[in-house]
């Protein structure tokens, strides 16, 4: 199986720009575990197998508990996530499904209570970025299952 188009080769400038934005978000100060949960949850909603595979593996490599990942799709029904994570996941769903939700006030108030201005902006950038990556991966049929995480440095 091969992707429809290797977009990163077809337009390396665009890829570098999106990757630079992603690196800025990664280094924003938001917890890595939170960023991975957000990436996986948005990717689940969008049905992006490539990104689910990648970020699941990255989360595990970074020390995330697998049972929390198994239950992520039903995060509202378990107490395995902190209030901060729950607010971030609700905001992720609201922004990922923006055409349906229009980012409701109650979800905004919940996330606003857990994140300061910079964190909330960075969280929203993280959600927007994974949605962009999902659209590229799905649209060009990136092949899931081949990704291997880079060794983490401690």
pLDDT in tens, 67-101: 999 999 999 999 999 999 999 999 999 999 999 99
| Rounded distance between C-alpha atoms, residue 55 and residue 48, angstroms | 11
CA–CA separation, 114 vs 133, rounded Å?
Answer: 26
**Residues contacting residue 83 through CB under 8 Å, at least 6 positions apart:** 114
Please say whether the beta carbons of 141 and 4 come within 8 A.
yes
Model confidence over 25-59: pLDDT tens digits?
A: 999 999 999 999 999 999 999 999 999 999 999 99
The predicted pLDDT at position 135 comes to 98
> Can you give the pLDDT at residue 153?
57
Burial of residue 26, with CB atoms counted within 10 A of its CB: 0-12 exposed, 13-18 middle, 19 or more buried = middle
Q: Is pLDDT above 80 for 151?
A: no
Q: What percent of the chain has pLDDT over 90?
A: 96
Residue 9 has pLDDT above 70, yes or no: yes
Q: How far is it, in rounded angstroms, from Cα 90 to Cα 120?
A: 13
Contact partners, residue 102, CB within 8 Å, separation at least 6: none
Tell me what pLDDT residue 64 has: 97
Let me know: does 80 contact 66? Beta carbons within 8 Å: no
Are 56 and 72 in contact by the 8 Å Cβ rule? The answer is no
């Amino acid at each position: 199986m091969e992707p429809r188009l290797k977009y990163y080769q077809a337009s390396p400038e665009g890829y570098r720009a999106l990757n630079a934005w992603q690196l800025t978000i990664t280094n924003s100060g938001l917890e890595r575990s939170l960023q991975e949960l957000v990436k996986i949850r948005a990717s689940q909603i969008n049905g992006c197998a490539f990104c689910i595979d990648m970020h699941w593996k990255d989360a595990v490599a970074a020390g995330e508990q697998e049972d929390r990942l198994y239950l992520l799709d039903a995060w509202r029904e378990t107490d395995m996530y902190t209030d901060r994570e729950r607010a971030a996941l609700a905001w992720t769903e609201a922004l990922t499904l923006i055409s349906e939700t229009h980012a409701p006030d109650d979800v905004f108030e919940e996330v606003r209570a857990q994140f300061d201005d910079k964190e909330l902006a960075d969280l929203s950038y993280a959600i927007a970025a994974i949605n962009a990556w999902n659209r590229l991966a799905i649209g060009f049929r990136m092949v899931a299952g081949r990704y291997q995480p880079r060794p983490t440095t401690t």
